[in-house]
Structure 1
Amino acid sequence: MISRKFLLVISLLLPFSFAAFAQQDSIPLSTVIEKTAKFQSSYPIEKVYLHMDKPYYAVGDTIWFKAYVTVEKHQPSGLSGVVYVDVINSQDSVMENLRLPVKNGFANGNITLSGDTYKQGSYRIRAYTNWMRNFDADYFYDHTINVGNAIDNQVNTFITYKSKAKSTTVKVDADITYKDPANNPYADRRVSWQLIRNGDAVSKGSGRTDAKGHLIVDIPENDPAIITSGSLVTAIDMGERKSVTNSFSLKGAVKGYDVQFFPESGQLTNGIRSKIAFKAINSKGLGVDVKGTVTDDQGTVLANLTTAHLGMGVFAITPETGKAYTAHITFDDGSQATYKLPRVQAMGINLAVYSPDPDNLTVKISANELFLQRKQNKSFYLVAQSGGVVYYAAQTVLQNLVYSANIPKSKFPTGIIQLTLFSSGGYALCERVIFVQHNDQLNLTLKTDKPSYTTRQNVKIAVSAKANTTPVVGSFSVAVVDDTSVPTNEDAESTILSNLLLTSDLKGYIEKPNYYFNKPDQEKLDNLDILMLTQGYRRFSYEDILADKNPPIFIAPEQGIEVSGILRTTTGLPVGKANIRLLIPDRNFSTETITDLSGNFKFSNVVVMDTSKITLSARNNVNSKNLVINVNGELYQKLSKNPNQPDEIVNIDSAMRPYLDNARRQYQNSRVLKEVVVKSTKFEKKPSHNDFGTFAGLPGQADHEISGDQLKDCPLLVNCLSTMAFGLTYVDNNFYITRDYNAGKKVPVQIYVGSMPVDVNFLSTITGAEVASVEIFLKDGVSGINRMNQTNGVLIINKKVIKKQKITLAQLQALIPKQNVVTFAIQGYNKAREFYMPKYDVTKAGALGADLRNTIYWNPKIITDKNGVASFNFFNSDARGSYRAIIEGLDSEGNLGRQVIHFGVK
């Protein structure tokens, strides 16, 4: 169940060291508090965080993870019983979609990065529940991982860009180095290249590498948007009519900077001294160091500015009406630029917050003379909330230019606090977001049984979990990795603290989020406050809350897999009080339900593993031959651009070299030469569009083709095509030609199975094993298909040919589908594998060959007992050096914890 103890809001008007009310308010402060509490109670905030065993991976690896599903103040959620995990590639296509059962707020799973599906590059891991889909997808768990290839990668590359801006175009040169896995250059090799955008070649050329394996690719001048939204694809000649293709993103190829300015509380007001935060980023979205001055329109220098951390900093000025202010910025490469500061408001009131000591916040409200004249003796409210819960509220009557008050930090939980100043009419005048850090996370300790170890030795680690000094029962996950092959920047990691306390509540990219929680000190707290000034927080709109404008709820919280639909007669009338039977042949399971008066039926908490066929039958009813079952389709989450794109690594071969070198040794150590038997083959004609007269006018060759072998392990065809259909984009349950969709032409592709036209939902009834090939035509030739169907492009599914044989009339009738019986595929729960842990007898050295694991241990189910203790053990690999053990988790009260230790292996 969801705990409600944090919804108890004191409705008393808390003192603010101000005068009492002098007039009747149009909206009492109690109304603001009550409506906010009602909104939070009706729309609780659910979050998902994934603890993964490593920060990056290689093709062939398995990603091990634990999902923490929380609600309200980070308590384990009882709201949702299912969590979804998507793997999305850099082209914003879903590679995999996992559905996992959630028990008591926790789930665990794994993703195998098979070489058939995954290539070297950057991928997103996105996680959410159905309840979260009712709200802004910006608050989903969304994390970028980089995946290298140590197995099939014959060519290691390193690329840098140089750009030069013209009047309306930009010139880019790409400097690429090609080397083999042993770091020897590929000298004097021919390389052809293409600039690809939306599947089309914008420009192309060729060249030869020099003696050091270098090649300069001279990309012709073009529009900056064309270059930065495209990719550079090169093919290096490997001899014997073979070549190796590499693709490079051009997102950061054009050098550029941007600086934004953020006045505290949202505006600059005449005569009120204000802090102004700024954020300077490069074209990749990463912070850059700058320095500069701020001048008025007379050239007078009013402030000096310099970055404090990751391109962010703060300065203060006292603005005046009628004056314009300019920031003169010098970037770290010596280039310069000027930026106008926001316009000065002639009348207004500002809200400033300071943290003068560890125990108190100082809130300062400043009005200018004009505002005081017009609003004197008017009432104002200050409300502070976190996660929708109001923790502080106060009221005053405006009588002076400046008010200030201290608020004890003890009133607030650790995390983001939003302070809003309201007029008495309920209008939000200004806001300030702060972060309160109590350092009250769980006291987690990991203690090894020895000071150091040898290779393959058994390691025993004791776990202790306390809230302050009180032992707690909690659920935790533990990963142990080899520091040498998995070097890690702890500041850049996504952790349970940085996610649930910070990034899950903020929109936009947060660079190195764990910096603020990794051994925090005063400098990091100051930089965190600057981050609060620059980053947007918009989970709640007080304007909507006070106007009773509630967000539409189109998906209810999901406790399990549901199968639902409606039963109708062949004439379309709903059939109430009828029997529907559900069968799962794989599990030898069946159950029944009754339709309601509108013909609707629903089976709740259907347990299906992986992808299974489900059969629904309405035969056990009067006049059943005239009944039709319609099944409600499953909803798929829309795709969006990667919010953490700056975390994508272009030069994976060099950035992840220690990890990939170890992965290559692992592969070579485990490789076994298999016997090759050459047999004669008999040619068999493959099914194609040429088999049907319907497609006589299509081109003889498809623009793109997907073979049946590529689809053989695909559980649901629609999911796989959304990723594998090159040249097409899958959006809103339709396929579109990518280049046309991006140009604004949103006309869907016509889909056929054989010669039968179908909609996208039909593809959810087909598995990849049934498909011989998929053909994609970006143009319909002279067939007239697009004109007749008002479509754009053709997608043809060629199913495997079933061997012909004679059957009886009874067998034929059995093959004809009945409308009162429906069989379809459904995505079930993905079964989590167990992490393999070898066991060694240290007296028998050399057994089982070299052990080159880099994830030494993974356990998502560490549970501390009533004394707050637990333990686990594992065997080391053959790697010597430092190992890193990480534990994360939470207790039933929502107290978070994370601890990292290192131990030596000799």
Structure 2
Amino acid sequence: MSKFLLFGLVFTLLRCIPVVGRTVGTLSDLDSLLGCMSRVVSATRHVVQEKVYLHFDNTGYFMGEKMWFTAYVVRADGHRPGVRSRVLYVELLNPGGDVVQRRKLKIDDRGHAHGDFSLDSLYGTGFYEVRAFTRYMANWGGAACFSRVFPVFHAPSTPGAYEPVMDERSYRRRLPDFREPDTLHRSRLNVSFYPEGGRLVSGLRSRVAFQVSDGGGRHVSADGELLDGEGRVVGRGFSDSTGRGVFTVPASCDGLRFRLRDARGRFKEFPLPESSSEGCVLELPPSLDDSLRFSVRGTASYRDRLLGYMLMNYGRVWSCDTFRVGSGYHKSYLRDSLPEGVNQLTVFDGRGRILCERLFFLFPKPSASDTIRVTSETARLTPCGKVRLRLHAVPGSVFSFSAMDGGTVFNGRGPSVKSWMLLSSEVKGYIEDVGYYFESDDSVHRRASDLLMLVQGWRRYDWEELSGYRSRNPEKWHPVEDMLYITGHLRSLKKSLPVDGIPIKVYVYSGGSYTDGEMLTDSAGRYAFSLPDVWGEWNLQLKAGVNKLKSRYLVTVDRRFGPPSRRLSPYECRSLPFLPSYLPLLPDTLEFDTLPLLSLSERLHKLPEVDVKAKRRFTEGARVAWATEKRGQYWADVYYDCDEETERYLDEGKEIPFFKDWFMERVEFADLNNLPFFLGIDVKGALTPVELAVAKDTLVKERGSLSDEEEEAEAVANGGECKDEDYLGRYKGHPIVWILDNVYAGGGGKLAMKVPAGAKTKKNDVSFPVFLDEAKSVYITEDPSASTSYHYPPFAEEVATVFVYSHGASTRRIEKGVRRTYFQGYNVPSTFENPDYSLMPPMEDFRRTLYWNPDVRTDENGEAIIEFYNNSSCREIHISAEGITPDGRCIFNK
């Protein structure tokens, strides 16, 4: 906050005193309002939020590629560098919302970090989400985090033959869904209402925005009528192509409902939100001139009360004052006197309670200093030829730069650094075509931005928390990670055992390096250790200093700060409109057609054959090779890392579950309720006769008899053979075939044919994992042919195959009071490799991202030179350059 702004705010607060002197009121009313204003000013200065934006090297990807990105972390109050956080988390989520990769990056003094994801280990194509956040950002939920969705296509069948092809997902082949549930119970036609100011008040006229959508969440354009309790039309409204619209609610109408006609021509009525009997309403319509006006009206009980209003811009208090509603309070500003972007207008009482509130958007005026200009010093593109570019931007600026093969770009650019920082990060949900709101400041665009603010306005800054009206639970507050930390808490398995003042010892080691420390837990059992900068994965051991009672304690670790996976809009799960952004370079057709290129096969060096003197069917490492996970990976539609799943339970202070219980909870479409006894025991020989008799008696007492599967399990345990029907759970209604360490372990249901007993595939004689930590990984496929290599004869029904890979040992004991796990230091970013064809002959080169530089710097004249080599087929180059200057200006190429 500038000194000028602070002086203006103090002057405004002092100016409130004579206002009260001219009205009938008490000094306590003024004191309360000034106290609220002061607390908000203090809170916004000391609790400064953070924002992050990621710039990527491309707009879409193919499996097997790398995704490169640069992160810009800034203060939310002005978008300048200077954040205290030094740890950034970047996660890649699959289409179902499960985190498949995570990066932990160091934020430098400029607020920059860069990294990459390898897309060579994904299980299926689709729309993948990338989100980024600091631990401190997690205090404000998922809406405060960066998020962007990318299409990931199948790798080309032949090198260079790029086609934007994805897996077709039907209901039958749907993936598990770990995203937040849709709170709107959708039908064919749905309407959500958003009263301006936040609520309807009986007896006061109000504007109400609305959003119309179909059962899939897509926008619906429709005409609607507002009906009163007697069915008379008292207002009308229509939704535009975004599904948004607005209508006015009369002052004296009860039992209001909104009637729409669906696509089938049928009418459907929707009741409006309930109205309050007392309160105030706020009206700020989009203006067509250079002024901005708002008005406040209230019921009788509020007309003579002293109230306050405050105008905030990105967390900075811009203006505030006191007023009385009377017959209606009106205030106007010149638009040029207000800050650009998203503003928050709040009307409040002396307790700090919000009476009405809304967001509004003021068009940011474009400036030449916002632009990164790119000019080419290369006349024509040639295969594997050198490209030299001159970049022009603000002197001393730092930004990231990408050059793409225009012929392999299959998706639009998406949000820019400017549209994200100034708009997307301040509203809730996905904004379709966010660049539209930055095109013009005419009446059409003003109306569109007004509807956007009314429908998707999210309060990044909770005014009632800032004013002290409502407090936040300090135990759920995430601290600023200004360096690497190990934090967690000690959990006692018995409530009578203390958790405060317990010594916690920590050991962090890798190779020949280590560090250790010791501290006492606080009153809540929490601990925290700071670490110097370390890179990569380290071994971590935490030990509670309670030797006699350590079996009654669990040590948790805090490292899962990501918010719940948000539900994606159908509009971000599609390819974006393609907007050209290219260099004025023409390809040299002659050279493209005639230049000899080395093929891929010519670049491979074939090893000479080895003369084998003798052969062995099995080597010492054959069992290890057979148990590798490549076979499960080959077939997999869904993958679970059981080691990571185990760590998640322990991090949350929970006991390690049975494998079956975990599988039932985690795998959305699985049904293991009819398993004999429970999965995790090799039935044959695993139970003693006494144990078998006890288990049988227990089941008979509970249910009266054994099921067919349990009768068979008893026979197997007593040395008998399985029948032709072997059901061990179902997945989406289909029998599961269990493959343990690449060997058939049971299941599959009825056989397709009768075969001699000796010809039928026998089950694996290795015990199934009993507890989750005994399993290493799980792969699931719905391809019915996956099981044919593991079992004969084939099964009569269509089956699902579950590959389970174990650690090759019986139950791994977890020592209570001691936690042996890992600590993830900063991830080391990869280096983008640029071929130098001045040192090698031209060859087949199918790079889609021709050049990526996360750290381009302009000199004192605002210029930078970039040089790289073209691939063997690019005829049009697309450029993307983005950054943020030290004074908070967003710069990008247009």
Shift of residue 300 of structure 1? Answer: 4.3
Deviations 1:75-104 (A, max 9, x none): 224311111111122233221111111112
Structure 1 residues 28, 590: CA separation in 2 closer, same or farther (over 3 Å shift)? same
Equivalent-residue separation in structure 2 for 1:229 and 1:40 (angstroms): 30
1:504 equivalenced with 2:430 (yes/no):
no
Structure 1 residues 824, 258: CA separation in 2 closer, same or farther (over 3 Å shift)? closer
**Higher normalized strand content (fraction of residues):** 1
Farther off after superposition, 65-74 or 550-559: 550-559
Q: What is the correspondence of 1:91-170 to structure 2 with a 5 Å cutoff?
A: 91-104=96-109, 105-114=111-120, 116-151=121-156
Residues 277 and 533 in structure 1, CA contact (< 8 A), matched pair in contact too: yes
Residues 686 and 772 in structure 1, CA contact (< 8 A), matched pair in contact too: no
Equivalent-residue separation in structure 1 for 2:433 and 2:528 (angstroms): 46
User: What's the counterpart of residue 447 of structure 1?
Assistant: 374
Any idea what SS the aligned residue of 1:11 has? helix
Farther off after superposition, 128-137 or 309-318: 309-318
Q: AA paired with 1:94?
A: V
Deviations 1:698-757 (A, max 9, x none): xxxxxxx99545899xxxxx99337899xx99988676546557799999x9999999xx
1:633 equivalenced with 2:557 (yes/no):
yes
User: What's the counterpart of residue 826 of structure 1?
Assistant: 823
- Calculate the aligned-residue CA RMSD, in Å: 5.6
Residues 555 and 817 in structure 2, CA contact (< 8 A), matched pair in contact too: no
Deviations 1:164-188 (A, max 9, x none): xxxxxxxxxx7xxxxxxxxxxxxxx
Structure 1 residues 251, 300: CA separation in 2 closer, same or farther (over 3 Å shift)? closer
Q: Which one of 867, 881, 885 corresponds to residue 887 of structure 1? A: 881
Shift of residue 357 of structure 1? Answer: 5.3
User: What's the counterpart of residue 618 of structure 2?
Assistant: 682
Any idea what SS the aligned residue of 1:508 has? coil
Q: Which one of 390, 394, 397 corresponds to residue 462 of structure 1? A: 390
Structure 1 residues 738, 894: CA separation in 2 closer, same or farther (over 3 Å shift)? farther
Deviations 1:199-257 (A, max 9, x none): 9xxxxxxxxxxxxxxxxxxxxxxxxxx9x999xxxxxxxxxxxxxxxxxxx99999833
Q: What is the correspondence of 1:482-881 to structure 2 with a 5 Å cutoff?
A: 482-490=405-413, 493-517=414-438, 522-544=443-465, 545-547=467-469, 549-552=471-474, 553-563=476-486, 584-586=509-511, 588-591=512-515, 595=519, 604-613=530-539, 633-637=557-561, 640-647=564-571, 649=573, 681-682=617-618, 707-709=628-630, 720-721=641-642, 737=662, 739-740=664-665, 796-797=775-776, 824-841=821-838, 847-881=841-875
Deviations 1:418-456 (A, max 9, x none): 111123443321112111223266522313134853234
1:50 equivalenced with 2:74 (yes/no):
no
Equivalent-residue separation in structure 2 for 1:684 and 1:376 (angstroms): 89
Shift of residue 67 of structure 1? Answer: 1.1
Structure 1 residues 272, 392: CA separation in 2 closer, same or farther (over 3 Å shift)? same
Residues 750 and 794 in structure 1, CA contact (< 8 A), matched pair in contact too: no
Equivalent-residue separation in structure 2 for 1:361 and 1:777 (angstroms): 72
Structure 1 residues 56, 4: CA separation in 2 closer, same or farther (over 3 Å shift)? farther
TM-score by length of 2: 0.68
Deviations 1:391-427 (A, max 9, x none): 111211233x223221234554333211111234433
Structure 1 residues 311, 376: CA separation in 2 closer, same or farther (over 3 Å shift)? closer
Residues 212 and 220 in structure 2, CA contact (< 8 A), matched pair in contact too: yes
Residues 740 and 746 in structure 1, CA contact (< 8 A), matched pair in contact too: no
Q: AA paired with 2:827?
A: N
User: What's the counterpart of residue 379 of structure 1?
Assistant: 306
Q: AA paired with 1:646?
A: P
Q: Which one of 364, 389, 413 corresponds to residue 295 of structure 2? A: 364
Residues 448 and 459 in structure 1, CA contact (< 8 A), matched pair in contact too: no
Equivalent-residue separation in structure 2 for 1:711 and 1:158 (angstroms): 21
Q: AA paired with 2:55?
A: H
Q: What is the correspondence of 1:24-35 to structure 2 with a 5 Å cutoff?
A: 24=26, 25-26=28-29, 27-35=31-39
Deviations 1:815-864 (A, max 9, x none): x999999975321221111212223359x9xx332333221221111223
Structure 1 residues 454, 258: CA separation in 2 closer, same or farther (over 3 Å shift)? same
Any idea what SS the aligned residue of 2:826 has? coil
Any idea what SS the aligned residue of 1:874 has? strand
1:475 equivalenced with 2:398 (yes/no):
yes
Residues 330 and 337 in structure 1, CA contact (< 8 A), matched pair in contact too: yes
Residues 497 and 517 in structure 1, CA contact (< 8 A), matched pair in contact too: no
Structure 1 residues 600, 740: CA separation in 2 closer, same or farther (over 3 Å shift)? closer
User: What's the counterpart of residue 10 of structure 1?
Assistant: 9
Shift of residue 149 of structure 1? Answer: 0.8
Residues 843 and 872 in structure 2, CA contact (< 8 A), matched pair in contact too: no
Residues 361 and 408 in structure 1, CA contact (< 8 A), matched pair in contact too: yes
Equivalent-residue separation in structure 1 for 2:98 and 2:378 (angstroms): 47
Any idea what SS the aligned residue of 1:266 has? coil
Q: How many equivalent residue pairs?
A: 727
Shift of residue 485 of structure 1? Answer: 1.8
Shift of residue 362 of structure 1? Answer: 0.9
Equivalent-residue separation in structure 2 for 1:327 and 1:640 (angstroms): 35
Structure 1 residues 881, 379: CA separation in 2 closer, same or farther (over 3 Å shift)? same
Residues 110 and 833 in structure 1, CA contact (< 8 A), matched pair in contact too: yes
Structure 1 residues 311, 752: CA separation in 2 closer, same or farther (over 3 Å shift)? same
Farther off after superposition, 9-18 or 42-51: 9-18
Residues 36 and 389 in structure 1, CA contact (< 8 A), matched pair in contact too: no
Any idea what SS the aligned residue of 1:393 has? strand
Residues 291 and 307 in structure 1, CA contact (< 8 A), matched pair in contact too: yes
Q: Percent sequence identity over matched residues?
A: 23
User: What's the counterpart of residue 308 of structure 1?
Assistant: 240
Q: AA paired with 1:390?
A: V
Q: Which one of 372, 383, 393 corresponds to residue 320 of structure 2? A: 393
Q: Which runs of 5+ in 1 are unaligned?
A: 162-173, 175-192, 200-225, 231-249, 657-665, 689-704, 713-717, 756-770, 779-788, 803-815, 901-906
Structure 1 residues 347, 557: CA separation in 2 closer, same or farther (over 3 Å shift)? closer
Any idea what SS the aligned residue of 1:134 has? helix
User: What's the counterpart of residue 584 of structure 2?
Assistant: none
1:258 equivalenced with 2:190 (yes/no):
yes
Equivalent-residue separation in structure 1 for 2:449 and 2:328 (angstroms): 26
Structure 1 residues 667, 751: CA separation in 2 closer, same or farther (over 3 Å shift)? farther
Equivalent-residue separation in structure 2 for 1:538 and 1:262 (angstroms): 14
